[in-house]
Structure 1
Amino acid sequence: MPLYFDRVDPATPEALVLLDQLSIALEVVTGDSGRASFDAADVRGARALFLLARDHDGKPVGCGAFRPISSTVAEVKRMYAVQGGSGIGSRILAQLEAEAKAMHYQEIWLETRLVNQVAVRFYEQRGYVRIANYGKYIGNAKAVCFGKRLPD
C-alpha cells in the first residue's frame, strides 16, 4: 500500500484523532497515556515536524513527529500506526529518519515504556540501541531510551 506524508500542525482535526487513539492505546498497554510527554509547540519549530501518513485514498493511517534535543540530535515523539503489523509504522519511522537527516541531524533518540515490549522490539528491529535515559527520563525505571545514528 502506498503511503503519502503531509507535514501538518498537530492541532489539526485529523492529527488530533490519531493522537487521541495513540493515547488510548498507550493507556491500555502502559497505564499512562503519554499526553504529559508531548508538547505540540515542540514540533512546530524550524528543525521539528509533525507528519501525517495517508493511504492511497487520503485517509490518515498514522503519525509521527520529532523535535530537536540539540543541534545534532532529534527526539521522536508520538509515533503511531492505526494498523499494527502492517508496515505503516516502519515507513513512518523511515520517513522521520529521512526528514531528520535532511535537517542535518546526526542521531535520533526516543523513549518508550519498558512494559511496552511491542514498541521495544519494534525499535530494536529497526536498528535502535538502548542508550542511557536522558532528560526527564533519567532515574525513571519504567522508561527505556533508544538511539540511532543516521547514515552519512
Structure 2
Amino acid sequence: MNAQQRELRELYQDTDERTEPFDPLTLSGEGCVLLAAEEGGKLLACGALKRWDRDSAEVKRMYTVPGARGCGLGRALLHELIARGRAAGYRRLVLETGDQQAAALALYERAGFRRIPNFGYYEGMDNSLCYELPLQDT
C-alpha cells in the first residue's frame, strides 16, 4: 500500500499526507474481499471489496506494481471482484479513482462502471472521480 500511496502523491504532486484512512481490518469483515496476485512471493497486484451495506460494496486499493502493468492482472482482479460482489448478493459496486489515472479510468469504464456524483470521503475533491456498476442479473 505504501508504494501505491507514494505513486499517487507523485502523480498528483501532493505533499499532503492526508489520505483516506486504510484499516485492513475493515476488509476482513463479513461481505469484504481482498484479492492479490503474486509471483515468486512478490506482490504484483491487489484489489478489494469493502462492504457498505446489504446492497453495496466499494472497490478499494486496486493497484498493480509498475513492472507488472499491461499483463491483464488489474483486469482479472477487477472481474473477479465483480463476480464476488455478485455472488455476495450486492446490487451495486462503487469506486473512486483520480482524474490523472488514465489506465484506471479506461479499465473501469471498459468493465461497465459509469460516473456518479462524488460520495462520502470524496465529496468536494476536485481530482476524484466516482463510479458505479449495477450488478443486476442479465
- 2:79 and 2:122 mapped to 1: Cα distance? 24
Unaligned runs of 5+ residues in structure 2 are none
Aligned-residue Cα RMSD (Å) equals: 2.0
Number of residue pairs aligned between Structure 1 and Structure 2: 133
**Which of 99, 109, 118 in structure 2 is aligned with 1:133?**
118
Displacement of 1:39 in angstroms is 2.4
Percent of matched pairs sharing the same residue: 33
**Which of 49, 53, 77 in structure 2 is aligned with 1:70?**
53
CA distance 1:150–1:81, shift in 2 (3 Å)? same
Displacement of 1:35 in angstroms is 4.7
Aligned counterpart, 1:27:
9
- Report whether the alignment pairs 1:108 with 2:108: no
Deviation per CA, 1:122-145: give whole Å up to 9, x if none: 211221110111111122222100
- 1:100 and 1:47 mapped to 2: Cα distance? 8
Aligned counterpart, 1:122:
107
Unaligned runs of 5+ residues in structure 1 are 1-18
Aligned amino acid, residue 81 of structure 1: T
CA distance 1:34–1:92, shift in 2 (3 Å)? farther
**Which of 40, 58, 62 in structure 1 is aligned with 2:24?**
40
The alignment's TM-score, normalised by the length of structure 1, stands at: 0.77
- 1:35 and 1:136 mapped to 2: Cα distance? 10
Aligned counterpart, 1:5:
none
- 1:48 and 1:103 mapped to 2: Cα distance? 9
Aligned counterpart, 1:61:
44
Ranges of 4+ aligned residues in structure 1 off by more than 4 Å: 32-35
- Given that 1:72 and 1:105 are in contact with CA atoms closer than 8 Å, whether structure 2 keeps it comes out as yes
Aligned counterpart, 1:10:
none
